[in-house]
Amino acid sequence: MNNKFEVLNLDSRLMKNLNDLKFYTMTPIQEKSLPFILDCRDIIAQAKTGSGKTAAFALGVLNNIDIKQTRPQSLILCPTRELAEQVAKEIRTLGRTLPNMKVLTITGGKSEYQQGKSLMHGAHIVVGTPGRVLKLLRKEVLTLEFVKYYILDEADRMLDMGFSEDIFKISSFVPKERQTLLFSATFPDDIKQMSLKLQKNAEMVVVDTSHNNNIIKEVFFELGSHKEKMNALKRVLGSYQSERFIIFCKTKKISDSVANELYNDGIIVSAIHGDLEQNERTAVLTMFSNKSLSGVVATDVAARGIDIKGLDLVVNFDIPNDPEVYVHRIGRTGRAGNEGHAVTFLVPQESGQLVKIEEFQKRTHESLGIESLGEIEAYKVLPPMKTLFISGGKKDKLRPGDIVGAIVGESGLEFSHIGDISIMNVISYVAVSIEYADLVCEKLNSGKIKKRNFRVGPL
């Protein structure tokens, strides 16, 4: 089958943008789901993280957007603020050739008043978390009478987080004549029940639910007790010397404890979980994306907002109860044909979890002793970049070009030493090579950006 985007009946402006972005061929989930989406069919799609599902539903929505109608025509629900922001960013990128197309994020942790003002100015697509969306619907700040597309992204995680009731309440505000798209990494029974209640004759699309054994190398280490995990983790990190990694823990408390001990040992990591304030979570994700952190220590829910390329190691500090969650976790490494490693710690009382994973994957795994790693070695990798904050953002009309121009002009730094730039409403982040971070801070604090003074410092 031809998997090129040109076989689809997409708007010519979207096709031009896909070519500019060098997106020529569809991923399996796009190839299977987009024809149904463009044919206005309801679908329930199962695909692992990084499979390209955001682009699948985004292109479907963008292809039929009515720019003249500035009331929301699409509502996309996500389990976390980070994922909502990530989805909105990707939609803006895919729809950048549609003039005046507006995507708005409606999530907790941000001003309701400002979100209400933005809605008054109009939006074509709303991406939000269930709690805040329902709150604005009840206050009649948000109206959904013109919504044609109702999309649930990472539906399984939303159910795990207790959003089921909110989702059904939100659904009552959406017109009955609509297209409902449900995307999920796993497919438990409650997802099937949700589909029956929200969708009409939904097409089932399943791809990429397993991983290539040759790309992701899975290793299980058998430990005597939970107390041995911390030393085993340090030994694993020292043995693999990975440049970027994620460590999964079952609770927020364990995540904090692991991150603190690693950081005290000179390993540049940070914890991320639901107890962090929104600005703290944004800072952690930005630093990890910018290569300013070697790793993050995360709970499953918080990690849903992380989509990092070049992740070469995943460590299951605590093995998950659900084998599908295990597969979802390890799928964050071994992307784009690159080899990845997945390490899992097993204690005696968790041996049943390995059996479940083997039954799910339809193959067996060997359990090794941690001593099989050989000599004990310290983790020596340092992040190549440092992330700086700038006390100005969109409200100050700052653009990436302004920040790059100021850094080059004030400090004489070459472009190759400047990394990713993220511009928020009132703050901006920029990654620079770690050896020049102090110089850039000093020069920008004493100089100007766009003829104005801003405070600059390490994040």
Lowest average pLDDT, out of 156-160, 280-284, 440-444, goes to 156-160
Q: Mean of the pLDDT values across residues 225-239?
A: 95
| Domains, the chain, with CATH or none | 5-206 (3.40.50.300), 216-373 (3.40.50.300), 385-458 (3.30.70.330)
pLDDT exceeds cutoff 90 at 184: no
Q: Note the pLDDT tens digit of each residue in 74-107.
A: 999 998 888 898 899 899 999 999 999 999 999 9
Q: Give the residue, 101 or 156, on which the prediction is more confident.
A: 101
Write down the pLDDT at residue 374.
87
Q: Note the pLDDT tens digit of each residue in 163-181.
A: 889 999 999 999 999 999 9
Write down the pLDDT at residue 383.
93
Write down the pLDDT at residue 355.
92
Write down the pLDDT at residue 160.
74
pLDDT exceeds cutoff 70 at 1: no
Three-state secondary structure string covering the chain: CCCEHHHCCCCHHHHHHHHHCCCCECCHHHHHHHHHHHCCCCEEEECCCCCCHHHHHHHHHHHCCCCCCCCCCEEEECCCHHHHHHHHHHHHHHCCCCCCCCEEEECCCCCHHHHHHHHHCCCCEEEECHHHHHHHHHCCCCCCCCCCEEEECCHHHHHHCCCHHHHHHHHCCCCCCCEEEEEECCCCHHHHHHHHHHCCCCEEEECCCCCCCCCEEEEEEECCCHHHHHHHHHHHHHHHCCCCEEEECCCHHHHHHHHHHHHHCCCCEEEECCCCCHHHHHHHHHHHHCCCCCEEEECHHHHCCCCCCCCCEEEECCCCCCHHHHHHHHCCCCHHHCCEEEEEEECHHHHHHHHHHHHHHCCCCCEEEHHHHCCCCCCCCCCCEEEEEECCCHHHCCCHHHHHHHHHHHHCCCHHHEEEEEECCCCEEEEEEHHHHHHHHHHHHHCCECCECCCEEEC
Q: Mean of the pLDDT values across residues 151-162?
A: 85
Q: Mean of the pLDDT values across residues 196-212?
A: 79
Write down the pLDDT at residue 28.
87
Write down the pLDDT at residue 302.
62
Q: Mean of the pLDDT values across residues 185-192?
A: 79
Give residue 337's pLDDT band: very low, low, confident or very high (50, 70, 90). low
pLDDT exceeds cutoff 90 at 147: yes
Q: Note the pLDDT tens digit of each residue in 365-423.
A: 989 999 999 888 999 999 999 999 999 998 899 988 899 999 999 888 888 899 888 88
Write down the pLDDT at residue 415.
84
**pTM value?**
0.67
